[in-house]
């Protein structure tokens, strides 16, 4: 019951190629699980990268998560009156 499993694997494979084996590894599952908290912290300027280490590297290496991140950030920014 996980139809997107294959695309997530492909995404992780792409990330591994960009970061190499020694980078902090955030999977797409981790990324989606932490995305709302991460974006809230990011908009608040409150240590998003400390809270979720490796998240930024994942977003830079993963177009799917980056797009999700951007739309969520836009949504939250709108909810909070556009303060970024
Ligand atoms: Zn991803």
Residue whose pair of structure tokens reads 């949504």 in the numeric block: 75
CB 35 within 8 A of CB 72: yes
| 38 CA to centre of ligand 1 in angstroms | 14
CB atoms within 10 A of CB 7: 11
Whole-number Cα distances in Å, 12 to 6, 51, 81, 83: 10, 21, 34, 32
Q: What is the pLDDT of residues 18-74, one digit of tens each?
A: 555 445 689 999 999 999 999 999 999 999 999 889 999 999 999 999 999 999 999
Distance 44 CA to ligand 1 centre (A): 23
Q: How far apart are CA 27 and CA 9, in angstroms?
A: 9
Q: What is the mean pLDDT of the chain?
A: 80
Distance between Cα 57 and ligand 1 center (Å)? 10
Distance 84 CA to ligand 1 centre (A): 23
Three-class DSSP category at 84: coil
């Amino acid at each position: 019951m996980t139809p997107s499993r294959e695309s997530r694997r492909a995404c992780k494979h792409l990330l591994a190629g960009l970061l190499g084996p020694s980078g902090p590894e955030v999977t797409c599952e981790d990324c989606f699980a932490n995305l709302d908290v991460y974006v809230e912290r990011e908009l608040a300027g409150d240590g998003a990268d400390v809270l979720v280490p490796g998240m930024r590297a994942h977003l830079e290496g993963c177009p799917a998560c980056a797009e999700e991140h951007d739309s969520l950030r836009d949504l939250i920014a709108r909810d909070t009156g556009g303060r970024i």
